[in-house]
Structure 1
């Protein structure tokens, strides 16, 4: 840059004569001073490229944090969407248990009635009570299983949302670390 200014001023001097010499010298001196100031302040193409790389690295770290967070948010939404499905499956299982109970009682009543046994007392009544007891146990067990599964799905969604928050913070912390590292390097150089 200083050479280009020098060449321009010497060409300008040749055209205008010595009257422009003092102006050209002042201009060349100012250009040399600003070039020396830029070199003295540590500004160079290498530091510019390093700063640009640091900014790009910080943006990339933030982007990676957001990408990880988005993946975790999607997994949380998936877990939350499975809760109604689990509820429907539980209702279906309990309806199946009730259907099997009705069929079992109907089969027992038919068998005992065909044999001529009174269904209001004795063995048929005990068998019917036993069938109701087993169905009640199966229904209660299935309801507990459904509650456990839906609670686990809710907990899983909560865990994924927490991981998403940590991923976002981690991206920002990585970016901040890159910026501080760059600043420390610049301070060491002076």
Structure 2
């Protein structure tokens, strides 16, 4: 959780490369493992993070990385819960959903993941990586998606060879042009679907 709390994407992506990268020795290449940010036995992610702006980014990673994303009930609206407070804090009864902006973001990412062959089954390749920004590729023979995350409070412009001129952000439906660099707004996630390359 220390990498998540500081949103050190360098450490997180290096772990993903070791597990799912293109090298033949990676641990889980071709496997579809369950991935989650929190569950019934650990402190909820929203209670661990010191910066609440990082919460949607964690779910951007979960829906963008290899594996089957799993959301623990209540986490879709940022429910809090400390393990030190016992089971009732981790497994509360909610009277009703508490739909909010985070819920909308997670719903859009879940839809994008569900409808994308590359996000469900694609390989993993690191494209751009800093401590606070990452762009990685998920690709199958039929589809290619670039997952872009900016965990900083400042915009970031990434200059890289995208292998295509334009893409559609599967989260927002907006067209993205790679010409002149790709600007990532502060605390943002994008799933850019390129034409086959």
Question: Into which bin does the TM-score normalised by the smaller protein fall?
Answer: under 0.3
- TM-score when scaled to structure 2? 0.17
Higher RCO (CA 8 Å, separation ≥ 6 residues)? 1
TM-score (norm: length of structure 1): 0.18
- Which structure has the highest strand share of the two? 2
Between structure 1 and structure 2, the one with the greater Rg is: 1
